[in-house]
Amino acid sequence: MAFKRSRQPNNSNNKGHNHNYLQQQNQEAEKQNELKIEHLKNKVIGIKSISYDIQNEIRSQNQLLDELENNFSSANSLLDRTVNRISTLISSSTGQHMCWLFLFVFAVLIFIYFYLKRK
């Protein structure tokens, strides 16, 4: 009866093969990491661009709001002066007649506005 001799793997050759395999895995992992880093870098660049666009939009909106505030201040002061003039007009003796004339002219203008708007 002959015993078969089992083949033991050559440890020195096997170690070299494992080392090469581990190096390939490490290189593949490095490549994947580099790709992911590049992908994240592109996303960061995109987000940075969007944030600059938002910043520019906010600046333009703030400028528009400042202009609007100035326009409202001008309109408010004009309205205050008009109310003061009408108050002085009403308090004078001929002012009451002028006030009625002013209201009549105002009503006629409103009527003309709605009449023309309807056509």
Lookup result for tokens 């709001």: 65
29 pLDDT tier (thresholds 50, 70, 90): very high
Per-chain mean pLDDT for the chain? 84
Burial 42-74 (b: 16+ CB within 10 A, else e): eeeeeeeeeeeeeeeeeeeeeeeeeeeeeeeee
Residue range 85-114, pLDDT digits in tens: 878 777 776 667 777 888 899 999 999 999
Summarize the confidence of residues 29-45 as an average pLDDT: 95
Exposed, middle or buried by CB within 10 Å (0-12, 13-18, 19+), for 28?
exposed
**Looking at residue 118, what is its pLDDT?**
83
Per domain, the residue ranges of the chain are 20-93
Q: Is the pLDDT of residue 50 over 60?
A: yes
Q: In the chain, what percentage of residues exceed pLDDT 90?
A: 52
Alpha-carbon distance values, 90 to 22, 76, 95, 102 (Å): 99, 21, 4, 11
